[in-house]
Every structure is written in structure tokens, then in C-alpha cells.
Amino acid sequence: MSKKPAADELPTRIEELICFALYSASNAMNRTYRPHLSPLGLTYPQYLALTVLWEKDGITVGALCDRMMTETSTLTPLLKRLEKRGYLERKRSSEDERQVLVHLTHAGRQLQSEAPEITRCVIDSTKIPPAKLAELVQTISRMRDNLQNDE
């Protein structure tokens, strides 16, 4: 077990807080994606939802929420907007009507061809080598998982 830092060793300025570093990096990431997604009529959260569906189409809203680590109340309006744009369809499961399945349309699948170039541009914008970015993703994911386990 690691030693807990003394009060005088704890960060006191906003620039020293991990929560601020993550918050401000998230905002910067959103701004970096915006010029790439705007021509496609997508927001960053919509792009994330599509990314999950490109991996596995025809999943339930609940499974999509789990993958995106969000609540149904957050995801449902986003899915409605994507459906209105013609990128996906939501249908009740024939096996269990309580479940809503999300399926990409042809237009939604076609958007996937834009993803590699968007990813390349964003990675280039970070000016961090891909191997270091992969390590950073692992570290942040581990921190997130630890925080969720403490809830």
C-alpha cells in the first residue's frame, strides 16, 4: 500500500489537479474533433456512438450505454438525432420488446470510411507518438476503472 501524501504535498493550484487536466484535455479534444466532424453533421458524442456501432452493429441501447459509459437519458436524444439524420434505426427486439436494438443504415456504415483520416488528424494534433498515446490511454483507462471501483 502506498503512503498517503501529507496535506502540504497535495496539489493546491488548478493546474496541478488531475481532474482539471482531464477536464481541459477533454474540452480540447472536443474542439480538435469539431472541424472534422462538423462537415459530416456529427458531434463528438455522436461520433463515439457510431464508432461503437461500427465495431458491433445491432446492439441494444443498454449495451451501447455500457460501452460508452453513459446513461440512457443521455444517449436516447443523441440516438434520435442520428436516426433523424438517417445514420441509424432503432427497433424493438422481437425477442424482448423491452429492448431497443440500434442498427446502422447504409449511410451510417458509409461514414466509417471517414474515421481513419479523422483519427490520423487528431493523433497528429496531439504531437505525441502513437506508442506513447497508447500508453496514456491505458493509464487513463486504469485510473477511470479504479475510480469506478471506489464508487
Q: Tell me the C-alpha distance between 139 and 27, whole Å.
A: 19
CB–CB of 33/48 below 8 Å?
no
Q: Select the CATH number that applies to the domain covering 18-120 from these four: 3.40.50.2300, 1.10.760.10, 1.10.10.410, 1.10.10.10.
A: 1.10.10.10
Task: Print pLDDT tens along the chain (151 aa).
Answer: 567 877 778 888 999 999 999 999 999 999 999 999 999 999 999 999 999 999 999 999 999 999 999 999 999 999 999 999 999 999 998 888 889 999 999 999 999 999 999 999 999 999 999 999 999 999 999 999 999 988 7
The Cα 3–Cα 82 span in angstroms is 48
Q: What is the pTM of this model?
A: 0.87
In the chain, beta strands by DSSP E: 59-60, 88-92, 100-104
Q: How far apart are CA 58 and CA 118, in angstroms?
A: 24
Q: Which residue has the cell 502513437?
A: 130
Return the ∠ at Cα 88 (arms to 86 and 94), rounded to 5°. 130
Tell me how far apart the alpha carbons of residues 44 and 93 are, in angstroms, rounded to a whole number: 28
What is the pLDDT at residue 107? 97
- Beta-sheet strand order (sheet of 100-104): 59-60, 100-104, 88-92
pLDDT of residue 1: 59
Residue 3 carries which side chain, given as an amino acid letter? K
